[in-house]
Chains A and B, each alone.
Chain A
């Protein structure tokens, strides 16, 4: 404001000024070379010819309030001076971003709306540094994020971007099943010898997918390794094995059903789903570092996956189909490994 008054007192000043109006209606003027540092303002001046007088002030985007604007012009004023060394600029920038996170966010937003890329990068980097390496709880506290995800949701796969009611239904079932299983878990203890041989399915898949035989071979040898690993693991974890056998039966049943159908897309539907959920689940498990692991036995989760998968098949949902098409054929053969991989991963994570 005071700057504006000053300019009225000395209208004959040699320096040219740009008039700007913020969303709250206040008008101010700024040295041209400083204001023109913001591409958005520069465009307005050049393309629309506005900003040269108070009546034709450039109206700034809503995200820029007067406080942020003056901060931004401080930044521009420093950087528009030529001949400063990189070190000087760095030191200034470091000092400049020392502010609370709320203001930092506001500033980022304001700079973004003025298309001032270097400042957006600077503040984004500062925000990233704040987030880096912190736990979700810490981040929520710093940014006042609502903790509006239930524990179930945090465990759930992150897949339902599109708000499909069928998927929500699926998730609800998934959550319910998981609870049930958690209770059943205590009663269960069975011992069965495990034996997995999915080679025929694998061969079929590679036939359907028309894969280069060389690659199929490598994926097979890989599978052998996996199997060996699994057997080692198995002896230490009877429950898992038992469940796994059940699952395997389930698995082969569903697979034989598919073979009858004998269309690649159908195979895609069903066999993709569990591996996908698994993949979604795994990273999160690792993120939470044990805190989820303790809650749900991977084998139980596996069983859940199967049930959900059955449900999904019944739905014959177009959503699953579309994902199946996105994926590459070779993934199917990986899915053949799915069972073992799922077990080795989280189980070993406990060690």
Chain B
């Protein structure tokens, strides 16, 4: 063993750090007992990621927590140089006063990426967070904050991810507009009812919460939108708007590539007076996923139709139907699909997935429309929420009847 020289210790520090960054922080710091050359190699690591696994497991949560606090404090004290990333995931509550101190320490060490994934119970973020002006990425979970008066925004922030944060909507709005470089924004469990977003460089937007209205005021670069919209009790509020929400919401995002909506999102888009045609063609839109679409509501189906017919490069479509009401609405004589819709072509659509279909008229018509207008369609996957075998069979038979313009189109009916 002795004849072979030590060939790793003298590698340049940048390589050593590259290696150590890929280890858990526990393994990385353990290298300090390897040999004298390794003593402090870890101490200039710029990314520090902590969780409860950093310390020895114990049945006593208190012991683990105490050790974790000491471990983090020790690491920060021994650390040299800038700390670019600090991540802490823990559900412990006792360590919260310590987090205050760590944040203060980090705010003085050029922190760029801060991730605090805390457990239940709001942690009030200390004001020193707002002195971390070099932040490019901020992720907070179960926190509460209120920026001080002097705070004008994070001028380098590119990614903001807030999960179950207690904060006033105005605060969020001004925080967002105070981050001119923001590219990624995610707000979840966020019940703001009305939210306006102004972020000239925003590319990715994820919203999840109770909203009555969302305004994308200045978001020309948006590439992906995902919205889970839960509705407030009084739906009537939802309906007051006279502008077509589809136009209002998606009118200013010409670069959109992916649109995903859950729960009431399609419903929300369907509200307002339909202007006929959309003012915009989404030439970049490749994927549309709309879940819990109510096919009994002609307005919602119209939203679907408007979107697919204004997205010439759409490749993938996923739609799930919301459960049919026990007392179905009277289907009026008004027929969406006998209008000029079959004049449209969906030139790029390759894959369609419809789930939870119950075989009601608009569902079937919609599938028929897709089969009849998509020349390069490859697969249409349908799964049904029906429990009755005969009803399912009727649906399959009906679907098989529809002409397909794409010679390669396969219809797959999934049995659960």
- Asked if A219 and B33 make an inter-chain contact with CB atoms under 8 angstroms apart, the answer reads no
In contact, B36 and A149 (Cβ under 8 angstroms): yes
With A136-B33, A145-B6, A158-B39 as contacts: A279 and B77 at CB distance below 8 Å: yes
Q: Count A-B pairs with CB separation below 8 Å.
A: 160
Chain A residues with CB under 8 A of B1:
141, 144
A330 touches B22 (CB 8 A): no
Q: Is A62 an interface residue (CB 8 A)?
A: no
- Bitwise, A217-235 to B at CB < 8 A (1) or not (0) is 0110010010001000000
* B14 cross-chain contacts in A, Cβ below 8 A: 112
**Cα A276 to Cα B307 with chains together (Å):** 62
Tell me, yes or no, whether A185 is within 8 Å of chain B by CB.
no
Contact residues of B between 86 and 125, Cβ < 8 Å to A: 94, 96-98, 100-101, 104-105
Asked if A266 is an interface residue, CB under 8 A from chain B, the answer is no
In the assembly, what is the distance between CA of A136 and CA of B30, in Å? 8
Assess whether B23 is in contact with A132, with CB atoms less than 8 Å apart: yes
Judged by a CB distance under 8 angstroms, whether B78 is at the interface is yes
By the criterion CB–CB under 8 Å, are B36 and A106 in contact?
no
B55 CB within 8 Å of chain A: yes
Question: In the complex the two chains form, what is the Cα distance from A157 to B7 in whole Å?
Answer: 26
Q: In residues 174-230 of chain B, which contact A (Cβ within 8 Å)? A: none
A139 to B62, CA, bound (A): 32
CA distance A131 to B34 in the complex (A): 11
Residue of B70, B96, B126 ringed by the most chain A CB atoms within 10 A: B70
User: Given known contacts A112-B15, A283-B75, A330-B100, is B34 in contact with A344 (CB within 8 Å)?
Assistant: no
| B interface list, Cβ under 8 A from A | 1, 4-9, 11-12, 14-15, 18-20, 22-24, 26-27, 29-40, 43, 55-56, 58, 60, 62-63, 66-67, 70-71, 73-75, 77-78, 80, 94, 96-98, 100-101, 104-105, 126
Q: Does A345 contact B (CB under 8 A)?
A: yes
Q: Is A120 an interface residue (CB 8 A)?
A: yes
Query: Which of B6, B18, B97 has a CB less than 8 Å from the CB of A219?
Result: B97
Query: When the two chains form their complex, are residues B56 and A289 in contact, meaning their CB atoms are under 8 A apart?
Result: yes
For A286, give its contact among B34, B38, B55, B75 (CB under 8 Å).
B55
| CB pair A341 B6 closer than 8 Å | no
- Could you tell me the distance in whole angstroms from the C-beta of B76 to the nearest C-beta in chain A? 9
| Shortest 6 CB-CB contacts between residues of A and residues of B | A279-B74, A128-B22, A124-B18, A143-B8, A145-B35, A348-B63
Task: Contacts A143-B9, A279-B70, A345-B70 given; indicate if A287 touches B30 (C-beta within 8 A).
Answer: yes
Please name the residue on chain B nearest to A216 by beta carbon. Answer: B97
Cα-based distance from A215 to B63 in the complex (angstroms)? 23
B27 and A218 contacting across the interface, CB-CB below 8 Å:
no
Residues of A near any B CB (own CB < 8 A): 101-102, 105-106, 108-109, 112, 120-121, 124-125, 127-129, 131-133, 136, 139-141, 143-149, 153-154, 158-159, 161, 215, 218-219, 222, 225, 229, 276, 278-280, 282-284, 286-289, 323, 327-328, 330-331, 334, 341, 344-345, 348-349, 351
Q: Is the CB of B11 within 8 A of A108?
A: yes
* Contact pick for A280, options B27, B33, B78, B97, CB 8 Å: B78
Provide the residues of chain B in CB contact with A132, threshold 8 Å.
23-24, 27
Judge whether B58 and A131 touch: CB under 8 Å. no
Smallest CB-CB separation from A347: which chain B residue? B63
B73 touches A279 (CB 8 A): yes
Contact B7 A120 (CB under 8 A): no
In the complex, which of the residues A108, A124, A143, A327 contacts B6, with contact meaning CB atoms closer than 8 Å? A143
Q: Which residues of chain B come closer than 8 Å to A145, judged between CB atoms?
A: 6, 8-9, 34-35, 37-38
- In the complex the two chains form, is A344's CB within 8 Å of B6's CB? no
* CB–CB B70/A278 < 8 A: yes
Q: Which residue of A125, A279, A286, A334 contacts B56 across the interface (Cβ within 8 Å)?
A: A286
| A158 in contact with B23 (CB, 8 Å) | no
Complex: A348 Cα to B104 Cα, angstroms: 30
A–B complex contacts, Cβ < 8 Å, 20 sampled:
A109-B11, A120-B15, A127-B19, A129-B22, A131-B23, A143-B9, A144-B4, A158-B40, A158-B78, A219-B97, A286-B56, A286-B67, A287-B26, A288-B33, A328-B104, A330-B101, A344-B62, A348-B58, A348-B63, A349-B56
Residues on B with C-beta less than 8 A from A159 are 78
A345 and B77 in contact, given A328-B104, A331-B101 (Cβ under 8 angstroms): no
Q: Give Cα distance in the complex from A141 to B2, angstroms.
A: 10
- Which of chain B's residues have a CB closer than 8 A to the CB of A129? 22
A105 x B23 contact (CB < 8 A): no
- Cα–Cα, bound, A146→B39 (Å): 12
Output the least CB separation between A251 and chain B (Å): 18
CB-CB under 8 A from B66, the residues of chain A are 341, 344-345
Q: How far is the CA of A334 from the CA of B77 in the complex (A)?
A: 14
Q: With the chains together, A124 CA to B19 CA distance in Å? A: 5
- Asked whether, in the complex, the Cβ of B67 is within 8 Å of the Cβ of A109, the reply is no
Chain B min CB distance to A70 (Å): 19
- Determine the residue in chain B with the shortest Cβ distance to A157: B78
The distance in angstroms between the C-alpha atoms of A215 and B103, with both chains bound, is 14
In Å, the complex CA distance between A143 and B58 comes to 32
Most buried by A among B9, B15, B24, B29: B15
Residues from chain B with a CB closer than 8 A to the CB of A141 are 1
Q: Which residues of B contact A327 (CB under 8 A)?
A: 77, 105
Give the chain B neighbours of A331 by CB distance below 8 A.
Answer: 73, 101
Q: Once bound together, how far apart are the Cα atoms of A282 and B7, in whole Å?
A: 30
Partner of B15, one of A108, A131, A219, A278: A108
| Given contact pairs A101-B7, A327-B77, A345-B66, a sample of 6 additional A-B residue pairs in the complex whose CB atoms are under 8 Å apart | A132-B23, A139-B31, A144-B4, A279-B71, A280-B77, A289-B56
Give the distance in Å from the alpha carbon of A351 to the alpha carbon of B56 in the complex.
12
A215 touches B100 (CB 8 A): yes
Instruction: Flag if B77 contacts A276 (CB, 8 Å).
Output: yes
> Provided the pairs A131-B31, A287-B30, A349-B58 are in contact, do residues A225 and B8 lie with their beta carbons within 8 angstroms?
no
Q: Which residue of B lies closest to A129 (CB)?
A: B22
A108 to chain B: which residues have CB within 8 Å?
11, 15
A283 in contact with B27 (CB, 8 Å): no
Taken together as a complex, chains A and B put the C-alpha atoms of A349 and B33 apart, in Å, by 20
Within the complex, what minimum Cβ distance (angstroms) separates B161 from chain A? Answer: 25
Residues of chain B with a CB closer than 8 A to A139's CB: 31, 34
Question: How far is A229 from B61 in the complex, measured between Cα atoms in Å?
Answer: 12
Bound CA–CA A255/B55 (angstroms): 32
- Contact present for B97 and A105 (CB under 8 Å): no
How many whole Å from B239's CB to the nearest CB in chain A? 45
- In whole angstroms, how far apart are the Cα atoms of A134 and B408 in the complex? 54
Closest to B40 in A: A161
Give the shortest distance, in Å, between B72 (CB) and chain A (any CB). Answer: 9
CA–CA, A248 and B349, complex, Å: 76
Contact, CB under 8 Å: B7 / A102: yes
Judge whether A229 and B34 touch: CB under 8 Å. no
Give A141 to B101 CA distance when docked, in angstroms. 40
Among B31, B63, B77: residue with most chain A CB under 10 A: B77
Q: How far is the CB of B14 from chain A (nearest CB, A)?
A: 7
Q: Which residues of A contact B38 (CB under 8 A)?
A: 145
Contact A148 B35 (CB under 8 A): yes
